[in-house]
Amino acid sequence: MIVLLTLYLACATEADQNIATSNENAIPVEKEQEQKRPRVIIVGDSLTAGMGLPVDQAYPKLLEQRLDMENLPTEVLNAGQSGDTTAGGLRRVDWLLQQKPDLLIIELGANDGMRGIPLAEVQANLAAMIEKAQKEEVLVKLMEMRIPPNYGEQYSAGFHKIYQTLATKYEIELIPFLLADVAGDASLNQADGIHPTKEGHQKMAESSFATIKKWRENFK
């Protein structure tokens, strides 16, 4: 599984560098926002962007549809950008917060890990994003990330520890690793063996749904 995950993330990083796309244009800018539904923004990389698929087949849209089915209407906006890193997310977060989300979900770090970005830098970038959101009184949830030991077991373990450290420090909830049941399964990945298929995104949505549903049920 580690070997397959290594190949998956390594190839994804290379593809993300060569095929960069942005979903910012998909987010409506409202001068005077009158929200009828609570708004969630998911800032992430190609996993969130749904590279290779129509945006309505990526897991953010699937979460929105599932919440609607549960009679919990919620606006889930996809702010995934292929190839993005924690530094890129930090550069974008001010603009995203201007869209007045009720919940900001951060799905970033895998590309940092595969490039061997210093752990202190990864942690500082994520911490700055969380602090910016909390300053605006926006609730934050952090998606757990895992990487294979390409740069050694110490780096890999330290990388994984970042997410729990931040969750504890800022008292935020971790969302389970999206690829836990997807990476390495050919039936859930596109022909490139890198990016999840429609079915893969369905699995990803399922893995995070319980956490989002709980938040929505308690939203006031």
Question: Is 195 among the catalytic positions?
Answer: yes
Query: 56, 68, 94, 192: which is the annotated catalytic residue?
Result: 192
pLDDT band, very low/low/confident/very high, at 26 (cuts 50, 70, 90):
low
Per residue in 87-138, pLDDT (tens digit) is 999 999 999 999 999 999 999 999 999 999 999 999 999 999 999 999 999 9
Query: 16, 46, 207, 208: which is the annotated catalytic residue?
Result: 46
- Distance between CA atoms of residues 147 and 156, nearest Å: 6
CATH architecture of 2-28+37-218: 3-Layer(aba) Sandwich (3.40)
Cα separation values, 57 from 48, 89, 100, 102, Å: 11, 22, 24, 23
User: Tell me, what's the pLDDT at 100?
Assistant: 97
| CB within 8 Å of 48: residues ≥ 6 apart | 23, 42, 58, 59, 60, 78, 79, 80, 107
The two tokens of residue 178 are 């999206």
Is the Cα dihedral 181, 183, 186, 191 positive or negative? positive
Query: 195, 201, 207, 208: which is the annotated catalytic residue?
Result: 195
Per residue in 127-160, pLDDT (tens digit) is 999 999 999 999 999 999 988 888 999 999 999 9
pTM for the model? 0.85
Give the start-to-end residue ranges of the domains of the chain: 2-28+37-218
User: Which DSSP symbol is given to 29?
Assistant: P
11, burial (CB in 10 Å: exposed 0-12, middle 13-18, buried 19+):
middle
Question: Is 84 among the catalytic positions?
Answer: no
Question: Is 160 among the catalytic positions?
Answer: no
